[in-house]
Amino acid sequence: MTTEQNPVIRAFDAYVAAVAAQDVEAFVALYDDDVAVFDCWGQWKYSGLDAWRAMVTDWFRGLGRDTEEVVFADVHTTVGADLAFGHAFVTFTAISPAGERQRSLSNRLTVNLERRSVSWKIVHEHTSLPIDMKTGQAIFG
């Protein structure tokens, strides 16, 4: 399988492009209507695309005039006949209009995809940081 045919790599590439363009609809087009997301921040679960779209809309709005660069690293993918999954480390870096690299944050990310008639969709995503058991604080990479 070439990189171009791998649905997980295609999803990661489209994720990077949608965030760079701050294009909410291009971003949510990667996900299934019934997606369940265990996101790194703030709440236990997002159920369904409307809840996920609201999160993404807030995220992009919060960037203000900055753009956000997304880089996937240590990418592992497994592609089957009708399902696929992958995991990676993802680094988000805000970049000012003047081109200055500002705050940067890495996550651990897992995606689960199902083949649909036209394309593959992310049906489940899980992002997180590990936690220090003694302090309950996130461990930033």
Residues near a copy of itself (CB under 8 A)? 36, 38-45, 76, 78, 80-85, 87, 89, 108, 110, 112, 114, 123-124, 126, 128-133, 136-141
Q: How far is the CB of 131 from a copy of itself (least distance, A)?
A: 5
As measured in angstroms, the least distance from the Cβ of 38 to a copy of itself is: 4
Q: How far is the CB of 136 from a copy of itself (least distance, A)?
A: 5
* Residues 6+ away with beta carbon under 8 Å from 36: 45, 46, 47, 123, 124
Joined tokens for residue 104: 């940067």
Give the CA count within 13 Å in the CB-facing half-sphere of 113: 27
Beta-strand pair 31-38/120-128: parallel
In whole angstroms, the minimum distance from the beta carbon of 129 to a copy of itself comes to 6
Of residues 53 and 126, the one with the C-beta less far from a copy of itself: 126
Q: Which is nearer to a copy of itself, 98 or 133 (CB)?
A: 133
Q: Vertex 123, ends 137 and 105: CA angle to 5°?
A: 30
